[in-house]
Homo-oligomer: A and B are copies of this chain.
Amino acid sequence: MVQDGKTMDDRILLAHGGGGRMMERLIREGLLPLLGNEILARLGDSAIIEIQGVSLAFTTDSYVISPVFFPGGDIGRLAVSGTVNDLAVSGAKPIYLSLGLILEEGFPMADLHRITSSIQATAQEAGVQVVTGDTKVVNRGKVDGIFINTSGLGLVLPSAETSGVRSREGDRVLVSGTLGDHGIAVMASREGLDLETTVQSDVAPLNGMIEELLTLGRGVRFLRDPTRGGLASVLNEFTRLTGLAVELREDRIPIRSEVRGACELLGLDPLLVANEGKCVAVVADEYSERALRLLRSHPLGREAQEIGRVMGGPAGKVLLKTEIGGTRILDAPMGEQLPRIC
């Protein structure tokens, strides 16, 4: 796979799972040519499938985050929210989830209980049901504690089309709140940084807020949740898919000062850090104010901002107008800066 003779391509690297260009390449050159079919090749956050005339969204995600309990959440809340959000940004109403547990021999029952309770609480918050499951146990040392897979099924909302195909020059780019909270909260907890009381993960199911936004119908042109690879990955995907460009105003991008500080300390770019309770929306110019109002009227979108606009070119580029007046290209990362963030 990706057989071009370079040593780095002989083995899987952490960056192959990072949501950036290395992962994109593994999928496009390694997996798609083998598995390829029209539906998979679209590579949306969910597959849109039709069964007996009913249009469904179907998605899957495995969660391998470390540590499993972190400020603001845990792997259970993450496993429900992440999959619910993938369905929601695909324009679907999430309904059913599956739950696959892979447990390490010796994993504490009390932790499993806490995680399972969190799964149920988050499922209720999102209005979805866990309807099927599987439990595997692996010998001590062969898996790190607990990994969870959730797959999800949703009903595609009429007239929702969030893939970006309707986007055009002049559209506005919105985010539903502050960026980088999840990645920095997890990192701080992992590294024992003293941010635990101030930075909490934003992990949350966004389907309620997104359903509100989708009442704007054709006004909403593109929706994604900026998880691995952060805002940079999502917007580069948008410009690559549409052949358009995006110009961001750095001074409008909401980032908590503690997150900004931690990023400076750790040498991270907050625009590349993972979020688990935010969405990025591209909306038609004339719908921008209404979209912002809808987002801000929801508890999870209070800090929503318009952060930029869609340009005709340079094709495929994301430009960042910096606070000091310059412009730089915001590339998709090669891989995630932080492994096991989700």
A324 proximal to B (CB < 8 A): no
A334 proximal to B (CB < 8 A): no
Q: State the CA gap A9–B213 with chains docked (Å).
A: 46
Q: State the CA gap A209–B120 with chains docked (Å).
A: 38
Number of this chain's copies in the complex: 2
A134 proximal to B (CB < 8 A): yes
Whether B96 lies near A132 (C-beta < 8 A) is: no
A193 proximal to B (CB < 8 A): no
| Chain A residues within 8 Å of chain B by Cβ, number | 82
A108 proximal to B (CB < 8 A): yes
Partner of A98, one of B59, B64, B132, B136: B59
Q: Known contacts A40-B131, A109-B1, A149-B100: does B17 contact A136 (CB below 8 Å)? A: yes
A324: shortest Cβ distance to chain B, in Å? 37
Q: State the CA gap A227–B106 with chains docked (Å).
A: 24
* A228-272 CB contacts (< 8 Å) to partner B: none
A186 proximal to B (CB < 8 A): no
Determine the chain B residues whose CB is within 8 A of the CB of A95 once the complex forms. 49, 51
Residue of B nearest to A55 (CB): B52
* A43-66 CB contacts (< 8 Å) to partner B: 46-47, 49, 51-54, 56, 58-64, 66
Determine the chain B residues whose CB is within 8 A of the CB of A17 once the complex forms. 103, 135-138
Q: State the CA gap A116–B31 with chains docked (Å).
A: 7
A313 proximal to B (CB < 8 A): no
Whether A37 lies near B130 (C-beta < 8 A) is: yes
Determine the chain B residues whose CB is within 8 A of the CB of A132 once the complex forms. 39-40, 46-47, 58-60
A197 proximal to B (CB < 8 A): no
* A93-145 CB contacts (< 8 Å) to partner B: 95-96, 98-110, 112-113, 116-117, 119-120, 123, 129-139, 142-144
Q: Known contacts A37-B130, A153-B51: does B14 contact A139 (CB below 8 Å)? A: yes
Q: List 10 A-B contacts (CB under 8 A).
A: A11-B107, A14-B105, A16-B137, A30-B116, A37-B131, A51-B54, A51-B153, A58-B131, A60-B134, A139-B340
Residue of B nearest to A95 (CB): B51
Determine the chain B residues whose CB is within 8 A of the CB of A106 once the complex forms. 11-12
